[in-house]
Amino acid sequence: MAPEVRLDVTVRQGLFLSPEQRQAIELMVKPVMDVALWVQEEMNQNPFLEEVDVLEEPEKEPAELQDEDKEKDRKLEEDDGWMKNFHDGADLGYVSSRTVHDGDIQSIEHIKIEVPSLAEHLLWQYRLVAPPVLTPAGEYIIQSLDERGFFTSTLEEVSKQLSVSPESVQSALDLVHTLDPPGVGARNLQEALLIQVDHLEESSLDYVRPIIQYHLDDLVRKNYKKISGSLKIKVEKVMEAADLIGTLNPHPARDYGGTETRYVVPDLFIREVAGRLEVIVNENPMPRLGVNPRYVEFLRREGLSKEEKSYLKEKMNNARWILNTLHQRNLSLYLVARYIVDVQPDFFRGQFDKLRPLTLKQVADTLALSISTVSRLSNRKYADTPVGLFQLKYFFSNSVLTESGQSLSSRSVKQKIRMMIDSEDAAVPLSDVDILDRLNTEGIRIQRRTVAKYRESMSILPRRLRRTAAGPGPPDAAEPVETDGESFQGGTHAAQSDRT
C-alpha cells in the first residue's frame, strides 16, 4: 500500500496556563521589592498606567462635559467602569500601609540583616554542635563546597587528606546536612531536594519523596501521566507535588555570596492598636497606580483607525489586569497573615511558648485557597511584628497532642527539648529516653524516635557526643544512639537509611 499524506484533527483535553495566569502565580511568590520593580517595568511599557499622587484631588469637570463623557463611554465595547474599584483599598478589606499615619511603622533603613558568606555561616553553626573528633572533617567539607553549596569531593578523598576514617567523614557530612540553609552539603540536585523535604515542618504530600527519588527526570519533562501511572496516584496530585518541589531551592547557597548587608523590606506590619492586633500590607515601596485619563479620553475619540483602537484597548485591558492582580495578591497575603495572627495572638504578645500548631492545609481549607497558593504567599515574605522580624513560613508547624487533648506546636516541643538540654549536666547529659520521660510528665505523648528527630532538626548531637571531659558518665555502650541516618553502638558506626 502506497504511503499517503493526510491531515487529521483530534480533540484532546489538557491543563494549560495562560501567560497572565503564569504571571499572577509569579507575583504571589515575589516579595514586595521585586513586585515594585515589576510594576515600574510595566509602567514603562503601558501608557495607560501612571503613578497617582494620593493627596492630589482630581479636577472636577463641568456637568455638561461629564454627561458628554458618559455618553461616549457607553459606545465603547469595553466599559471602563471597573476603574472606580481601584481608587483605594477599602473595598478589599485590608488595611494599606498608606492609610496608617501613627508613626509606629519602623523605617526600612533600620531593618537589616548581616549576610555572612556561606562558609562563615556554616562554620559558626558547625562549631556549636560538632564534637572535637568531627571538627576537622566538617570544616574541610564546608570549605570545599562549591558556589551552589554542593559537596563535590568524595569521602575517600577527604579521608586521605585528613588521615581519618571514611566513617568519620560520613558522620561529619551528615551533621553538615542538618545545618542551615537546608540542602547544603548535598552531592547532587536529587539529594539537595530530599534533604530540603526532610526539613519541611509539614507536608501532606507523602508522595513527594518518591517523585524526587525515582521520577525527577520525568518531572523536569512534565511527564505527569508517566509519574501518575508509576506511583498509582492522580495527575492532579502529581501537579500538587510538582508545585511544592518547585518551591525548593536547587542551589542551597544561592542567597550566600558575600559579606554585604542585605536589607529586608517587610511585606507586612503587625501592630497592636487599642488591644487588637492589626495586619497592615506594606504598599509603600510600590507606586500608587492609576489609569492615565488622557489615554482614556483618547480612546473615546471618534475617527480612530481599527489598529489604533485595538492597540489602545489591549493596553487598557492589560492595565485592568495588572490592577486586579496586584490587589488580589495583596488581599490574599492579608488574609493569610490575618489568619496566622488570629491563631497565634499570644505569640505576637511575647508568649513564645504559646505557639500553636498550624499547617498549610489548615489555612488553605479555611480561606478556600490551594495549598500551593498558601505556600507561595508564605515563601520569602517577612512580617515586622511587635516581637521581631519573622518569615511567614516560620508559623507553620505540626501538632503534638497532650494527655488533656490539647494540641501543641512542634516548635514549642522543640523549645522544651532545647531548654532541657541547655540546663543538663555536661558530664551526664540527657538521653533521648530521659527527655521523653520528662515530656511525658508534662503530659506530652510522643515517641522516642520523634524526640531524636526534633533534636537532630535543631542540630543537637546525641548524648554520647555531647558528653564533656568533666566526667565519664554512666556506661551506655550497649544503648544505640540514633542520629539522622546514622546509628552508633559501642564505638562501631553503621550506616542506616532513616530519612523516610
Q: Is the same domain home to 184 and 276?
A: no
- Enumerate residues 6+ apart whose C-beta is below 8 A from 472: none
- Enumerate residues 6+ apart whose C-beta is below 8 A from 403: 443, 445
- Enumerate residues 6+ apart whose C-beta is below 8 A from 358: 340, 343, 344, 395, 396, 397, 409
Spatial CA neighbour of 398 closest among 382, 417, 383, 412: 412
**Residue 353 belongs to some domain of the structure:** yes
Q: Give pLDDT, residue 314.
A: 87
- Write the pLDDT tens digit of every residue in 273-306: 988 999 999 988 888 888 888 888 888 777 778 8
Among the ranges given (90-94, 178-182, 286-290, 342-346), the one the predictor scored with the smallest mean pLDDT: 90-94
The mean pLDDT value for 229-234 works out to: 88
**Residue 491 belongs to some domain of the structure:** no
Q: Is the same domain home to 347 and 365?
A: yes
Domain extent for 200: 118-246
Q: Is the same domain home to 359 and 383?
A: yes
Q: Is the same domain home to 36 and 128?
A: no
Q: What CATH number has the domain bearing residue 440?
A: 1.10.10.60
Among the ranges given (265-274, 363-372, 433-442, 476-485), the one the predictor scored with the smallest mean pLDDT: 476-485
Q: Kindly indicate the confidence band of residue 475, based on its pLDDT and cuts at 50, 70 and 90.
A: very low
Cell numbers at 451, concatenated: 524526640
The mean pLDDT value for 11-23 works out to: 69
User: How many other CB atoms sit within 10 Å of the CB of residue 68?
Assistant: 13
Q: Is the same domain home to 429 and 327?
A: no
User: How many other CB atoms sit within 10 Å of the CB of residue 319?
Assistant: 26
**Residue 494 belongs to some domain of the structure:** no
**Residue 482 belongs to some domain of the structure:** no
Q: Give pLDDT, residue 267.
A: 92
Q: Is the same domain home to 228 and 336?
A: no
Q: Is the same domain home to 166 and 191?
A: yes
Q: Is the same domain home to 142 and 161?
A: yes
The mean pLDDT value for 249-277 works out to: 79
Q: Is the same domain home to 422 and 319?
A: no
Q: How many domains does the chain have?
A: 3
Q: Give pLDDT, residue 54.
A: 55
Among residues 187, 215, 246, the one where a domain terminates is: 246
Cell numbers at 36, concatenated: 515594585
Q: How many CA atoms lie within 13 A of 157 on its CB side?
A: 7
Q: Give pLDDT, residue 395.
A: 85
Q: What CATH number has the domain bearing residue 218?
A: 1.10.10.1330
**Residue 10 belongs to some domain of the structure:** no
Q: Is the same domain home to 270 and 374?
A: yes
Task: Decide if pLDDT at 411 tops 80.
Answer: no
Q: Is the same domain home to 314 and 380?
A: yes
**Residue 113 belongs to some domain of the structure:** no
The CA distances from residue 271 to 32, 379, 391, in Å, are 19, 21, 16
Among residues 246, 276, 291, the one where a domain terminates is: 246
**Residue 219 belongs to some domain of the structure:** yes
**Residue 260 belongs to some domain of the structure:** no
Q: Kindly indicate the confidence band of residue 403, based on its pLDDT and cuts at 50, 70 and 90.
A: low
- Mean pLDDT, the chain, as a whole number? 75
Three-state secondary structure call for residue 416 = helix
Task: Decide if pLDDT at 342 tops 90.
Answer: yes
Q: Is the same domain home to 336 and 283?
A: yes
Cell numbers at 337, concatenated: 497573615
Among residues 373, 392, 411, the one where a domain terminates is: 392
